[in-house]
Chain A
Amino acid sequence: MMRSRPFTFSDPMRARNLADAIAILAPVDQVRIVHVCGTHEMTITQNGLRRFLPESIDVLEGPGCPVCVTSTRDIDAAVRLAEAGVTVCTYGDMTRVPGTRITLEEARSAGGDVRTVLSAEEAVRIAREIDGDVTFFAVGFETTTPMTAAILLDGPPDNLSILLSHKLIPPALAALSDLPDTHIDGYLAPGHVSTIIGTRPYRPLAERYRVPVVVGGFEPLDVLYAIALILRQIRDRKPSVENGYPRAVSEGGNTRAQALVKAVFTPGDGVWRGIGTIPSSGLTFRESFARFDARERFAIEGEEGEQVIPGCRCPDVLTARAVPSDCPLFRTRCTPLTPVGPCMVGAEGACSIWFRYGGRPQL
């Protein structure tokens, strides 16, 4: 009854071969590779992959946790909706992220109807079951935006609205490269975001910043392979966009899913916790779907500005300028049971993952 399932890529011999390749390709200088996907960080920590990397290679999670990068303004808006009597449907970890005043969980304790859901479809089911207003807090990157679009194209009940907080990855990567002190030598691009958007959207990034961008999958060997490809590009001084996950990603991406998104949404400014406003990194409603916009329907807005938590280094962790163990609160005051910042609350936050599965190899 050994675990074996289709499309598993984790045999130790190939891992060893790829580790050897990485050792040969690694330059003498420090290399910083940044990824933007909690699932990549999970694969790395749960499998102990950092043990296969030479000391000079750093792989770190940037703004890869959609819940963690949700602005306090959006959280405050959700809280206001709950306080106004709207049933707010959201992902579990979202309920515990601190806003300016309180969390959604605290709003629930104070009498608000805040429900944990696993998908946008579940929010639609709830809207069909009850008479009152139901808002779905739509958080997530491009893997998830087609699903929100699909349920709106279905013709959902009138009492459903969407608090739109989706974010787009390629503009965020450019913003990271623009920040001082991030020193990014290569990007490990998210596999399933890329299944939807393809590899083409990363080209301006590679060209403008002369940085390798390799799309990677989520099996242990996929990640080692993508790292090796990044290092090869660095060695050859030929940065480009490379598809390290061809079984799930094509150059043009999933055009059908893209069409769903285009039918309902158009890019707009996105506000990223820890980074600020990034142009064209969010979504706004097209006119024909604007009636589902919770912000318009209920005329709510959150407090302006981002709440700063004293001592918390989440903004640095989210921008790949620090790792969780660099934060003095990590494991001391800040734990998943007593979280201080969003990176410890979000299931895909670097701090939450490092706490639960270890981070840098301590072995």
Chain B
Amino acid sequence: MSREIDRVTPLHGAGGELMDRLLREHVIGRFAERNTGRIGLSALDDGATVDVPDRGELVVTTDSHVVKPVRFPGGDIGRLAAAGTINDLAVMGARPLALTLGLILEVGFPLGELDEILASFAAVLDEVDVPLICGDTKVMGKGELDRIAINTTGIGVAATTDGRAIGDASFSVGDRVLVTGTIGDHGMALMACREEFRLQTTLESDVAPLWPILEPVVRAGVVVAMKDPTRGGLASALNDMARKSGTCIEIVEDTIPVRPEAQGLSDLLGISPLEVANEGKAILVVRAAAVDRVLTSLRVHPLGANAVCIGEVTGEYPRRVILDTGVGGRRFLEMPLGDPVPRIC
């Protein structure tokens, strides 16, 4: 009685296995592999590269945002849209140059609320000194759209020593895996503010632009690969990286920093912080010899205060992620089916 999936379901948007399948079967196959640069459509990386003859690599990325609720502890859809796109550029080693902004609004959306969202968007751009250079606006009828949807496109230029953008899979056995801070904050904060749980907490989304802490290590040429663990969380991002690189990633559970409130909510609801979105964190892969230097650099800034090494690249089980559990056991960290929190970003 297995049912074939022939229409879009909520899981298709959740950033896990099903969405991956949707992209590969319906999108990638259709569009011939005509690249503008090294990193193209089929890489399904955080962005793509455009070769500018004699000038290096431009990086382009695009994102749509439908987060619910529109305003959440620690931010709103405006901050999320701006930071999300800045971060997609940043984790490709690209200095953000400009953003575009596409707004789709439902009839009846309060202009005062729109102003607040745009102010949040602008504040992020100010933080990283990046201009908004163009955009588009559409209005849909009452009930035709759930309040607001935002699309942003970002353009950056590779800021590495060799002028090449940083992908998410060019690492090898012996390299180390780092995270820039606490895991699961955004997803857990959004879960906590769902009305039916009747929870009070100070837990906030970590939504923030990461270029300020990533720029120094990118320019120093010590980062081998990077990714930001949004939908599907750390588990999804690491599995993605392991599959693309063909290597094995082994991480140590006790080294992964998790806020006590995020852990408390995890205990209460049975949802793992490793499987929910982060919006102000990055995964970095660096050569073993560079770990201390990179951590020192990251930790200078509040956004990187809890940066830590959580594991390494091995050859043991190609394309898999292994978790060394706190009690001393070992298991595979599987690709999650999606993010357990709906409309997370």
Residues of chain A whose beta carbon lies under 8 Å from any beta carbon of chain B: 1-3, 5, 10-12, 15-16, 42, 45-52, 98, 117-118, 122, 220-221, 309, 333-334, 336-340, 347, 355-358, 361-363
Contacts and interface: CB of A to CB of B under 8 A. Distances in A.
Nearest to A8: B326
Interface in B122-165: none
Interface residues of B, number: 35
A88 B209 CA distance: 44
Contacts, number: 94
Contacts of B259: 1
B48 to A, nearest CB: 28
Interface stretch (B93-101, B294-302, B329-337): B329-337
Nearest to B322: A363
Contacts of B202: none
A221 B3 CA distance: 40
A45 B328 contact: no
A122 B196 contact: yes
A340 B1 CA distance: 6
A315 to B, nearest CB: 15
A356 B334 contact: yes
A294 to B, nearest CB: 22
Contacts of A15: 327-329
Nearest to A12: B328
A3 B330 contact: no
Contacts of A45: 331
A339 B328 CA distance: 32
- Most chain A Cβ neighbours within 10 Å, of B5, B323, B336: B323
A336 B267 CA distance: 22
A279 to B, nearest CB: 30
18 contacts: A3-B258, A5-B263, A5-B267, A15-B328, A42-B270, A48-B329, A49-B329, A50-B329, A220-B327, A333-B2, A337-B17, A338-B5, A340-B1, A340-B2, A358-B332, A358-B334, A361-B330, A362-B332
A117 B196 CA distance: 9
B337 A51 contact: no
Given A1-B257, A98-B1, A337-B18, A11 B332 contact: no
A221 B328 CA distance: 11
A50 B329 CA distance: 8
B260 A46 contact: no
A51 B330 contact: yes
Contact of A47 (B197, B317, B329, B337): B329
Nearest to B3: A338
B245 interface: no
B287 to A, nearest CB: 26
Chain B binding surface, main DSSP class: loop
B11 interface: yes
A3 B329 contact: no
B182 interface: yes
Nearest to B324: A48
A323 B110 CA distance: 55
B254 interface: yes
A338 B17 CA distance: 12
A361 B5 CA distance: 31
Interface of B: 1-5, 11, 17-18, 182, 196-197, 254, 257-260, 263-264, 267, 270, 306, 317, 322-323, 325-332, 334, 336-337
A60 B325 CA distance: 20
A3 B317 CA distance: 27
A221 B258 contact: no
B327 A10 contact: yes
B325 A47 contact: yes
B334 A48 contact: no
Contacts of B5: 337-338
Nearest to A347: B270
A1 B306 contact: yes
B329 A52 contact: yes
A3 B263 contact: yes
A10 B322 contact: no
A339 B5 CA distance: 11
Given A1-B182, A3-B326, 11 more contacts: A1-B306, A47-B325, A48-B329, A48-B331, A333-B2, A338-B4, A347-B270, A355-B334, A356-B336, A357-B332, A363-B332
B331 A361 contact: yes
Given A118-B196, A340-B1, A48 B258 contact: no
Given A5-B260, A337-B5, A46 B325 contact: yes
Nearest to A310: B1
Contacts of B254: 2-3
Contacts of A357: 331-332, 334
A356 B336 CA distance: 7
B2 A48 contact: no
Contacts of B326: 3, 10, 12, 47, 220
Given A122-B196, A309-B1, A336-B337, A363 B331 contact: yes
Contacts of B337: 336-337, 356
B203 to A, nearest CB: 13
Nearest to B336: A356
Nearest to A118: B196
A45 B329 CA distance: 9
Contacts of A347: 270
- Most chain B Cβ neighbours within 10 Å, of A1, A2, A45, A362: A1
The 10 closest A-B CB pairs, nearest first, are A48-B329, A12-B328, A48-B331, A220-B327, A10-B327, A1-B257, A358-B331, A48-B330, A363-B330, A47-B325
A130 to B, nearest CB: 15
